[in-house]
Chains A and B, each alone.
Chain A
Amino acid sequence: MDTLSIEAQLVERAKAQDEAAFEQIMRLYADRLYNYILRMVGNATDAEDLVQETFLRAYQGLPQFDGRASLGTWLYRIATNLCIDHQRRRARRVQTVSYSEGEDEEGEPCAWDFPDQQTPNPLEAALNRELEAVVEDAIGKLSPKLKTVLLLYDVEELSYEEIARVLGIPIGTVKSRLNHARTQIQKAVAAYLDDAPLSARVRGTK
């Protein structure tokens, strides 16, 4: 049985008040949605609240879910709408949100939290971590429209078609927003590569 029909069965069972089926839906999508929402909103506390809200809305909306969209598309749509509403509310209070300045649930800085012990070249590993921080920071500065498309395509790895369905926009718009978003990130990376002495040293070793 393929993933879609397994999910369709889970949805049918969850609609019939099968709590275990809804639990399974949550297990399937919790990490994906949390990862997406965290980068959308930029801090762990809000992300935790919004992923809970996403599942609450999904639970309440199940009777209306007709299966025309896939379960994933539907959940990403709920999450995206919640994140955009959240950012609008927050934009009134805060000028900018920088993801790299946030902290994860243990209070550790996110951007430096993932040492890669397997990388053979320590300089390259250090560069990768620096690049990660630059990219995360640049993602945090994107407009919600561009950020949504970039995260769904490059990080969550949805297809153009799926993103078009999640956002209710044409595929051409998805592609154009993706290009704009990537170019903005690329500019930040280019500025970093031009300036950073560490990266210059790494490039010099190649």
Chain B
Amino acid sequence: MRCEHFERQMWAYIEGQLPDARAFEEHLRACPRCQRQLAAAQATYRTLHALPRHRAPANLSEQVRRRIAAAPARPRFDWARKWWRVALAPALGVLVAAVWWGWQTPQTAPSYGIASEDLTESLVELHEQLEVADWSPSPTPSYFITTGYTR
């Protein structure tokens, strides 16, 4: 057995999870370096499992109750998210149509391009409002614009 192999098996040996420890122990007897490694690993394992346990502050539950009372009432997130998704789906459709229309008629009707930018801004605003209404993580406006609302 080589030293690297010994080191890989060291923790399993300490935990008594090495099914056949003969080769491991044979190497151990012959290698002073690995003897030192194992001694340090055993001291590490023993110390980790005997570390002092810290107790939570006595007033913890009182503090938590205070925070619960001070926290804003929980809105109905699921309902809010579904409602906005329903509202956003046609808005996205309108945006795609407007951008497409703007591209199709750039010379004759340049104002369409502006209109589609306005629409994009409106949609970004709409999405920002959605983020304000919903504290849970949601796609950023740029993600939304480029890849669509996929969640």
Q: What separation, in Å, do the CA atoms of A64 and B60 have in the docked complex?
A: 24
What range describes how many residues of B lie at the interface? 20 to 34
- SS class of chain B's interface: helix, strand, loop or mixed? helix
Task: Tell me whether A155 and B55 are in contact in the complex, defined as CB-CB below 8 angstroms, given that A135-B44, A182-B11, A185-B44 are known contacts.
Answer: no
Known A27-B61, A56-B68: A104·B43 in contact at CB below 8 Å: no
A135 to B45, CA, bound (A): 10
Residues from chain B with Cβ under 8 Å of A48 in the complex = 56-57, 60, 63
Contacts of B8 in A (CB 8 A): 179
Chain B window 64-77, contacts with chain A (Cβ cutoff 8 Å), 1 for yes, 0 for no: 10011001001000
User: Do A26 and B61 touch across chains, with their CB atoms under 8 A apart?
Assistant: yes
> Chain B interface: which of A32-40, A86-94, A164-172?
A32-40
A186 and B56 contacting across the interface, CB-CB below 8 Å? no
Residues of A within 8 A of B49 (CB): 154-155
A60 to B49, CA, bound (A): 34
B86 contacts A by Cβ under 8 Å: no
Q: How far is the CA of A135 from the CA of B48 in the complex (A)?
A: 7
Q: Is the CB of B44 within 8 A of A26?
A: no
Q: Tell yes or no: B107 within 8 A of A by CB.
A: no
Interface locus among B22-30, B33-41, B94-102: B33-41
* In the complex, B147 has a CB within 8 A of chain A: no
Given the known inter-chain contacts A31-B55, A51-B56, please indicate yes or no for A56 contacting B44, CB distance below 8 A. Answer: no
Task: Name the B residues within 8 Å of A27 (CB-CB).
Answer: 61
A164-206: which residues lie under 8 A (CB-CB) from chain B? 178-179, 182-183, 185-187, 189-190, 193-194
**Distance (Å) between the CB of A34 and the closest chain B CB?**
4
Judged by DSSP, the binding face of A is helix
B51 CB–A CB distance under 8 Å: yes
Residues in B neighbouring A76, C-beta threshold 8 A: none
B48 near A154: Cβ-Cβ < 8 Å = yes
Contact present for B51 and A135 (CB under 8 Å) = yes
Q: State whether the Cβ of B53 lies closer than 8 Å to any Cβ in chain A.
A: yes
CB-contacts of A150-166 with B (<8 A): 150, 154-155
Which residues of chain A have C-beta atoms less than 8 A from B56's C-beta? 30-31, 33-34, 48, 51
Candidate in A52, A53, A194 with the most chain B CB atoms within 10 angstroms: A52
User: Is the beta-carbon distance between A193 and B39 smaller than 8 angstroms?
Assistant: yes
- A17 CB, nearest partner CB in chain B, Å: 12
CB <8 Å contact, A34 and B64: no
Whether the Cβ atoms of A52 and B43 lie closer than 8 Å is: no
B82 at the interface (CB under 8 A from A): no
Given the complex, which residues of B lie within 8 Å of A51, measured CB to CB? 56, 60
6 more CB-based (< 8 A) A-B contacts, given A48-B56, A182-B11, A193-B36: A35-B54, A105-B57, A134-B47, A135-B44, A135-B47, A194-B36
Interface residues of A (CB under 8 A from B): 23, 26-27, 30-31, 33-35, 38, 48, 51-53, 55-56, 59-60, 104-105, 110, 113-114, 128, 131-132, 134-136, 150, 154-155, 178-179, 182-183, 185-187, 189-190, 193-194
